[in-house]
């Protein structure tokens, strides 16, 4: 009987000790956190940081505030390098990422850096690509624009928020290639610090067309300053974007989803990483985030932790092969 009691006491003691150890290592976020948006205000990364930051506070995941820090440069490269070299152990930092991030990694545009140097947290939806022009543009349909490119690939000047060869640029090249436009390298593309800046240039008719994402054009579309020629999705998006025709409807097989998500510093504790992964999983299910997605045209797309890490590796390889095929890299 005494042995049984001793064993029971030992088990209880061990369980208590284990609980204390777990509690000692449990991650508690600081009152305030920071989210780096690797571009100027107004673009997709800025939207990701600000909208997710608001929900994190509203839903009491963060008790204080989430400060958005705009850090433009090299299409995300400045922010990536900053995170790896100067914030590698910061447990209260998240960085906005997207298909544009994997594109630049695939093309070795972040010298000396790779996807394994950070930890990939989660995606919170996909933002589909669009091609838009000013309200006074001579191009009324995607087909008209592509016909012009077939006659002269340099006849249309595009602008977007990613650098040359980035995801916004690739959307145009993919769409043109799908409609048998030749001499793809001759298509003109101007890189701006963010989608908002590129859109201002289109509205001012300084460039012919915008290539970016649906979340970037909502305000300009509502004001009537731009005409969206196509959304690069499998089917029409829900209202208020349901009036935009897809490229597929117009006979062009071009689909370009841009996932929205985050990574964290690669040397932060695994406990903090798990907290961010679990938090983003929960946030994605909240009604508040569902409303944000609906309002801004984000489609369901959620991967996290190991699944996202593998997805990033696969997408990076796919974009690398594609970039070689169209002559962007060797």
The 3-state DSSP class for residue 128 equals strand
**What pLDDT is attached to residue 319?**
87
As a whole-number percent, the residues of the chain with pLDDT over 70 amount to 92
Local confidence band at 330 (pLDDT 50, 70, 90 cut-offs): confident
- Of the candidate ranges 12-26, 45-59, 153-167, the one whose mean pLDDT is the lowest: 12-26
* Maximum pairwise Cα distance, the chain: 94
Local confidence band at 30 (pLDDT 50, 70, 90 cut-offs): confident
The 3-state DSSP class for residue 134 equals strand
**What pLDDT is attached to residue 143?**
97
**What pLDDT is attached to residue 17?**
44
Q: In this structure, what token pair is assigned to residue 299?
A: 């489609």
Mean pLDDT of 50-73: 97
Mean pLDDT of 30-55: 94
Q: Are 38 and 79 in contact (CB under 8 A)?
A: yes
Kind of pairing, strands 257-265 and 118-134? antiparallel
Local confidence band at 290 (pLDDT 50, 70, 90 cut-offs): very high
Q: To 5 degrees, how large is the angle CA 180–CA 170–CA 301?
A: 115
pLDDT of 18 above 60: no
CA distances for 26 relative to 21, 29, 272, 273, 283, angstroms: 9, 10, 8, 11, 20
Rounded to whole angstroms, the Cα distance separating 196 from 44 reads: 9
Q: To 5 degrees, how large is the angle CA 250–CA 255–CA 256?
A: 135
Q: Quick: pLDDT tens for 88-133.
A: 999 999 999 999 899 999 999 899 999 999 999 999 999 899 999 9
Rounded to whole angstroms, the Cα distance separating 153 from 166 reads: 19
CA distances for 260 relative to 135, 182, 302, angstroms: 28, 31, 9
Q: Quick: pLDDT tens for 297-323.
A: 888 899 999 999 999 999 998 889 888
- Sequence-separated (6 or more) residues with CB below 8 Å from residue 8: none
Average model confidence (pLDDT) across the chain: 90
**What pLDDT is attached to residue 6?**
53
Q: To 5 degrees, how large is the angle CA 53–CA 55–CA 59?
A: 125
Kind of pairing, strands 157-160 and 188-191? parallel
Q: Are 86 and 303 in contact (CB under 8 A)?
A: no
**What pLDDT is attached to residue 69?**
98
As a whole-number percent, the residues of the chain with pLDDT over 90 amount to 72
Mean pLDDT of 247-272: 96
Q: Quick: pLDDT tens for 164-207.
A: 888 899 999 999 999 999 889 899 999 998 899 999 999 999 99
Length of the chain: 330
Mean pLDDT of 5-11: 49
**What pLDDT is attached to residue 11?**
47
Instruction: Give all domains of the chain, ordered by start, each with its CATH number.
Output: 33-126+260-325 (3.40.190.150), 128-257 (3.40.190.10)
């Amino acid at each position: 009987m005494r042995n049984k009691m001793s064993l029971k006491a030992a088990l209880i003691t061990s369980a208590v000790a284990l609980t204390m150890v777990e509690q000692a290592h449990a991650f508690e976020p600081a009152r305030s956190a920071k989210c780096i948006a690797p571009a100027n205000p107004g673009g997709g990364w800025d939207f990701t940081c600000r909208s997710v930051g608001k929900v994190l506070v509203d839903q009491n995941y963060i008790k204080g505030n989430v400060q958005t820090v705009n850090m433009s440069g090299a299409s995300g490269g400045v922010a990536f390098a900053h995170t790896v070299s100067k914030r590698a152990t910061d447990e209260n930092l998240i960085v906005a990422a997207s298909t544009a991030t994997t594109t630049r990694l695939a093309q070795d545009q972040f010298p000396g850096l790779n996807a394994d140097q950070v930890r990939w947290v989660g995606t919170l939806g996909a933002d589909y690509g669009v091609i838009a022009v000013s309200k006074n543009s001579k191009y009324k349909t995607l087909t008209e624009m592509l016909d012009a490119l077939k006659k002269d690939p340099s006849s249309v000047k595009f602008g977007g928020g990613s650098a040359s060869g980035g995801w916004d640029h690739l959307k145009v090249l993919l769409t043109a290639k799908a409609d048998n436009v030749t001499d793809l390298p001759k298509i003109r593309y101007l890189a701006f610090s963010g989608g908002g800046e590129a859109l201002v240039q289109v509205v001012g008719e300084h460039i012919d067309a915008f290539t970016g994402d649906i979340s970037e054009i909502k305000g300009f579309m509502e004001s009537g300053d731009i005409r969206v020629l196509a959304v690069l999705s499998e089917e029409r998006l829900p209202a208020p974007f349901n009036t935009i025709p897809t490229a597929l409807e117009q006979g062009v097989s071009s689909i370009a989803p841009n996932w929205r998500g985050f990574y964290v510093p690669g040397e932060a504790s695994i406990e903090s990483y798990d907290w961010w992964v679990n938090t983003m999983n929960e946030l994605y299910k909240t009604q508040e985030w569902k409303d944000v997605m609906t309002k801004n045209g984000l489609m369901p797309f959620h991967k996290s932790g190991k699944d996202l890490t593998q997805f990033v590796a696969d997408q990076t390889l796919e974009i690398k092969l594609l970039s070689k095929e169209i002559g962007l890299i060797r």
